[in-house]
């Protein structure tokens, strides 16, 4: 899989147009190739030339899109600092299904990290739809659970019987982060320990009609949140051992600069696999603004809402 979220979610409008046009063109070509009634005679010379020209143009668009996607991203929105990286698998050549988006809303900074099932251009199309739906509704839907329902409904009409999108939505507020997890790897709270912020029960992915529940977790100014796709925890060494989320990872993720933290995490991952990644990986590291003094206490909870913290 590849990574389309940084492109669609954070600028580079020209490349976005190119990328979406590229996916639409390839999808159209795939549809034509699937036509059960092919011509009886081979295409004429001018048709072959036109095909070669289209192939060259699509290849150029793919290269430009990929270069835009692979740029590191960092910044600060709504008093939350963030840095993102996309680490491609060696065999990757086209855009695919890993995704993320960062959007400032009246309800705080909201982020989306997800992973479309599959490794093809259809996965890339669904990633673009997911991000577009998130961007369209994140700033106008007060409730994070309701926003998750909108995403699920938007994808339901686009997915086949076996399709789905794992995703986690996060909303940052003073002293806490609110999460809705739909079958995605649990984000890591980075502080004195590495703590997975997992739901009590695994949720269904988007597209499979999940019953989302919002959780609230403490997140102080000296703590960070790492959101990622499964390429991190499924990266294997030569003996088939998954990448461990251990003290070395915590040390990397607590480097003073967020960008440096992700670079060191990348170095640890490459040392573990001792070779190219087998799957693409999206990483998003967030931290409340260190200039703001935030209280360190378990978040208050509303009626019927769990905090995600254990006594």
Q: What is the DSSP string of 237-259?
A: -TT-PBPP--HHHHHHHTSSSHH
CA distance 118 to 280: 12
First-to-last C-alpha distance (Å) of the chain: 39
Residue 245 has pLDDT above 80, yes or no: yes
Q: What is the pLDDT of residue 297?
A: 33
Mean pLDDT of the chain: 78
Lowest mean pLDDT among 170-174, 243-247, 273-277: 273-277
pLDDT: which is higher, 148 or 56:
148
- pLDDT of residue 232 exceeding 50, the answer is yes
Average pLDDT over residues 159-182: 92
What is the rounded CA–CA span in Å between residue 248 and residue 233? 14
Answer with the residue of higher pLDDT: 7 or 195.
195
* Chain centroid, CA 36 distance in Å: 36
Q: What pLDDT sits at residue 32?
A: 47
Please check the confidence at residue 274 and state whether its pLDDT lies above 50: yes
- Cα radius of gyration rounded to whole Å, the chain: 21
175 Ramachandran zone, left/alpha/beta (phi>0; psi -120 to 50): left
Residue 200 has pLDDT above 50, yes or no: yes
User: What 8-state DSSP symbol labels residue 50?
Assistant: H
CA dist list (Å): 296 to 1, 116, 142: 38, 36, 25
Least confident of 163-172, 223-232, 299-308: 299-308
Question: Does position 248 have pLDDT exceeding 80, yes or no?
Answer: yes
Distance CA 144, CA 179 (A): 8
- Using CA atoms, how far apart are residues 95 and 40, in angstroms rounded to an integer? 34
CA angle 8, 215, 76 (to 5 degrees): 40
Tell me the C-alpha to C-alpha distance, in Å, between residue 33 and each of 19, 26, 122: 21, 10, 15
Q: Say whether pLDDT at 250 is over 80.
A: yes
| Tokens matching residue 121 | 């251009």
pLDDT of 152 strictly over 80: yes
Residue 46 is predicted with a pLDDT of: 66
User: Tokens 């926003």 map to which residue?
Assistant: 147
Q: How far is CA 194 from the centre of its chain?
A: 20
Q: Which segment of 28-32, 126-130, 288-292, 301-305 scores lowest on mean pLDDT?
A: 301-305
Backbone φ and ψ for 136, nearest 5 degrees, come out as -70, -30
């Amino acid at each position: 899989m590849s990574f389309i979220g940084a492109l669609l979610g954070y600028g580079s409008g020209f490349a976005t147009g190119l990328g979406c046009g590229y996916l639409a063109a390839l999808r159209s070509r795939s549809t034509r190739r699937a036509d059960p009634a092919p011509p009886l005679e081979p295409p004429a010379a001018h048709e072959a030339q036109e095909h070669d020209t289209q192939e060259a143009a699509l290849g150029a668009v793919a290269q430009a899109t990929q270069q835009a996607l692979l740029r590191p991203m960092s910044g600060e929105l709504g008093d939350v600092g963030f840095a993102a990286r996309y680490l491609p698998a060696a065999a990757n050549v086209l855009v695919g299904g890993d995704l993320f988006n960062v959007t400032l809303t009246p309800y705080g900074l909201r982020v989306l990290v997800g992973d479309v099932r599959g490794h093809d251009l259809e996965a890339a199309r669904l990633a673009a739809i997911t991000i577009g739906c998130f961007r369209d509704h994140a700033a106008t839907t007060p409730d994070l659970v309701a926003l998750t329902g909108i995403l699920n409904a938007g994808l339901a009409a686009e997915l086949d019987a076996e399709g789905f999108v794992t995703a986690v939505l996060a909303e940052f507020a003073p002293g806490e982060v609110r999460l809705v997890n739909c079958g995605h790897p649990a984000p890591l709270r980075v502080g004195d320990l590495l703590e997975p912020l997992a739901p009590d029960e695994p949720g269904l992915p988007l597209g499979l009609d999940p019953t989302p529940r919002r959780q609230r977790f403490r997140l102080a100014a000296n703590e960070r949140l790492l959101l990622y796709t499964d390429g991190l925890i499924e990266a294997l060494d030569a003996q088939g051992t998954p990448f461990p989320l251990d003290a070395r990872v915590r040390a990397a993720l607590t480097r003073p600069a967020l960008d440096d933290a992700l670079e060191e995490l990348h170095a640890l991952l490459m040392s573990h696999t001792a070779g190219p990644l087998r799957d693409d990986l999206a990483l998003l590291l967030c931290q409340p603004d260190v200039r703001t003094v935030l209280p360190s206490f378990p978040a208050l909870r509303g009626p019927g809402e769990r905090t995600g913290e254990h006594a």
